[in-house]
Every structure is written in structure tokens, then in C-alpha cells.
Amino acid sequence: MMLAELRRYVVEEAEEDWFSFDDMLSMIREVTGSSDDLLQQAGEAAVQFVREQTIVPGTLTETEGFTPWPTSPTESADRIEHEVAAMIRDGISPMPGQICWFDLPATAQPPQD
């Protein structure tokens, strides 16, 4: 996979708006031109980008907007890796918003008390 090109695409997308994990599959298809192992590739890319803090995972609600997960990048990456592995094992494709949403670290704000 072309990680540098995908990283640029992911950052550009996150600069525009939050995006969900399932959007990563489309991004990978566009960057690589292939539909092979999209879920596996999306999981690996998301894990790497979260670990290196290119993007921040979180939840999205109508009332709160984007809320980053309260876990470290490593813990968050491990959670994504686990959830993707379960989807692959069970033959499930992610739905919009499933697993997580992503934002850039500079714009992700922790929940306010």
C-alpha cells in the first residue's frame, strides 16, 4: 500500500470534516486502485496513523460533535486493531460510523466538564 499518499489523503479529508472508519476503505481503493483486502488494509492504516498521531479516533454525536476517545494512541490503535480483526473473522463489513470517527489531533478537543 502507498502509505505516504494515503496519509496525505487522510489528512486532507480530516481537514474538511470528520470521517468514519468505513471511509478509509474508499480512500484505500482510490489510492491503490484495488479492492483486495480493503478491511485488512484499512485496519492496518488506521492503526498506524493513530499510533503516529496523524489522526485521532473518537465518537460522533449530534449534541457533542466529535469526542476523542479518552485512551492513549497505543490503546486506541489496539482497540481499532481488535475491532477490525473481529469484523474480518465474522465476515462483517463496517457500516458508516462503526468502529470510530477520525479527526486531526490539532482540532480534536477533549470533552468539557
Condensed to tens digits (0 to 9), the pLDDT of residues 71-113 reads 999 999 999 999 999 999 999 999 998 999 999 997 655 544 4
108 within domain boundaries: no
Name residues whose C-beta falls within 8 Å of residue 57's C-beta, 6 or more positions apart in sequence.
Answer: 46, 50, 68, 69, 76, 79, 80, 100, 101, 102
- Residue where the block lists cell 454525536: 61
Give me 9's grid cell.
489523503
Which residue from 39, 73, 42 is spatially nearest to 55, judged by alpha carbons?
73
Is residue 3 very low, low, confident or very high in pLDDT (cuts 50, 70, 90)?
Answer: confident
For 47, the domain range is 3-103
97 within domain boundaries: yes
Mean pLDDT of the chain: 91
110 within domain boundaries: no
Q: Are 20 and 101 in contact (CB under 8 A)?
A: yes
Name residues whose C-beta falls within 8 Å of residue 69's C-beta, 6 or more positions apart in sequence.
Answer: 56, 57, 58, 59, 76, 79, 100
8 within domain boundaries: yes
87 within domain boundaries: yes
